[in-house]
Structure 1
Amino acid sequence: MNGIICEKRIFNDTLITHSHSYAQLVLPLRGTMNIQTQKKNLILDEKHLFFLPIDNMHSFKSQGPNEFLVLDIPNYMFSNEDMNKLEEGVKCNLDEKWRAIRFLILNELNGKNNDAIYKLFHYFIPFIVKKHIPNSVKYIHEHFNENIDLKILANIENYSLAYYSEWFKKNMMLSPVEYIQKLRINRVKELLRDTDLSIMQIACEVGYSHNSSLTRLFKLHENTTPANYRAEIRKMSDLQLKSGNEDLQNLSYLY
């Protein structure tokens, strides 16, 4: 390939399976498309776009009226580091920023100079390549104080439950359960330090119905109980405050 190929394309309901030695950016204009890779199974609609990496075996089909803006992007335009980050494909929300990018690309479709498309590529590719927080991790941060079903997390990423657990640990260095526990413990430490809530109230705040459950988990991670942690952290705070007051007194003597 000599540069980026950018076209409007219409697909039918025949299931096609193949791979190619170039990447693709698929931006819906209307309709939907079913795309299945080795690790993802998703429906691409008018609210999402999809980046398909190089040499990725995939199947796709579309039913009903449809039209997609597709960019075929040669492999020499990516570094090895970038492609490692993109190897599983990236699904993004077609938000206001991406709609503006799509508009600019559409305006350049009939132009003979590929330079404008090339410049747009270098503008938008960091949005795809940059290490982003996966949607399931965002969900965990928003709901860590609730009972989270791992099936919901796997579905968010379009993965099977077994693969999701493996994928999560590879990317986050912890299992989903361990990651949730870590978020809860960090929140507990904040509440112990900054509030006068009881241990029972704090337990409820982070998703436990019994303070014994919180105490057991906290001791496992911090080697102390919540009550002892609060006492120690406040003792240290009092000492620092006292030391600061003494320093101010000493300074006052100098003046």
Structure 2
Amino acid sequence: MKTVNHVTCEKRSYTREFTSHQHEFGQFLFPLKGSLDIQTKLQEINLNPDYCFYIPPKLEHNYRSMDRNEFLILDIPIKYLPENTSDMYIRLDKQWGSIRYLLLEEAKSQESTSSLVDLTRYVTSKLQISKPLSIEYIHKHYKESIRLETLAKIEHYHPVYYSAWFKDKTGKSPKVYISELRLNEAKQLLISTGWSMSKISEELGFENSSSFTRWFVRCEGLPPQKFRILNNR
């Protein structure tokens, strides 16, 4: 098992042969060229330059690359990590792209370890605030019908494993999490608009106002019309 006592940021390449290991530090992988097949107990990921991946300490993983490849690797000692981090598959959006660029510059210069440590602290702080891709998807699509298989596929999990992973992340099942988002939005619409029940039910993705009303009563214990009256006094 590998250990690391200081932050390391460097370019690496990988072979076609599967290698299996774990380490006593956290690791970010930023693909620069090619892709990397990564297998954990619960996931199988083909990591390409549109994404990055965080591997927490002590997570057993297999990896290989079937093409010409180059990766920017950030090895992070435990002392810089939040407690109980878990693996994260992250879309390389504009912000993460900027982080990769800054890390590349640090890897080139290697002049000041303090600036690399400061940047690493910023990167690890995002482990606490970044939403996993499937949870981002839920927040964008919770008004629609969402299949568990769709969410599991986004995170590269089997649906059974995904449900356990999701509950560990949020403390709730996907069904309850989605229902709570819809309920909060329903309450907001009832209080802040004069929309009819039909308009609100359509906005939230229900077939009709009757199904919306039945659902609201199950969740809140009173009809939406009464909720509106009580909260608009």
Class of the TM-score when normalised by the shorter of the 2 chains: 0.7 to 0.9
Change (3 A) 1:158 1:108: same
**How much is the aligned-residue C-alpha RMSD, in angstroms?**
2.3
**Does 2:54 align with 1:66?**
no
Q: 2:80 aligns with which of 72, 78, 89?
A: 78
Q: Find the partner of 1:4 among 4, 7, 12.
A: 7
Tell me the residue number matched to 1:248.
none
TM-score for the superposition, normalised by structure 2:
0.86
State how far apart, in whole Å, the 2-side matches of 1:150 and 1:63 are: 31
Query: How does 1:79-158 map onto structure 2 within 5 Å?
Result: 82-84=82-84, 86=85, 88-109=86-107, 111=109, 113=111, 115=113, 116-127=115-126, 129-158=127-156
Q: Could you report, residue by residue, the CA deviation over 1:65-124 in whole angstroms, capped at 9, with x for unpaired residues?
A: 11112233333x335xx140x1x2122233334334333433343556561433432332
Report the CA distance shift for 1:201/1:78 in structure 2 as closer, same or farther (over 3 A).
same
Q: Which structure shows the bigger proportion of residues in helix conformation?
A: 1
Structure 1 gap segments, 5+ residues each: 237-255
Percent identity, please.
Answer: 35
Are residues 190 and 59 of structure 1, via their aligned partners in 2, closer, same or farther at CA, if it must alter by over 3 Å?
Answer: same
Contact 1:3 1:114 in 2 (8 A): no
Q: Structure 1 residues 134 and 100, CA, compared in 2 at 3 Å: closer, same or farther?
A: closer
5+ unaligned residues in a row in structure 2: which ranges? Answer: none
SS of aligned partner of 2:188: helix
- 1:117 maps to a residue whose letter is L
Structure 2 counterpart of 1:242: none
Supply the distance in 1 between the matched residues of 2:98 and 2:211 (Cα, whole angstroms).
Answer: 49
How far apart, CA to CA, are the structure 2 residues paired with 1:178 and 1:112? 48
Structure 1 letter corresponding to 2:36:
M
1:42 aligns to what?
A: 45
Q: Assess, with a 3 A threshold, how the Cα gap between structure 1 residues 119 and 146 changes in structure 2: closer, same or farther.
A: closer
CA contact (8 A) 2:9 2:106 kept: no
Map of 1:160 onto structure 2: 158
Structure 1 Cα separation of the partners of residues 24 and 145 of structure 2: 43
The one-letter amino acid paired with 1:216 is R
Q: Which amino acid aligns with 1:124?
A: V
The equivalences for 1:151-190 within 5 A come to: 151-190=149-188
Query: Using the alignment, how far apart are the partners of 2:9 and 2:95 within structure 1?
Result: 19
Match of 1:25 in 2: 28
1:168-196 C-alpha deviation (Å, 9 max, x unpaired): 22332322112222222222222222333
2:221 — aligned with what?
A: 223
- Judging changes above 3 Å, is the alpha-carbon distance between structure 1 residues 206 and 106 closer, same or farther for their aligned structure 2 residues? closer
Larger radius of gyration: 1
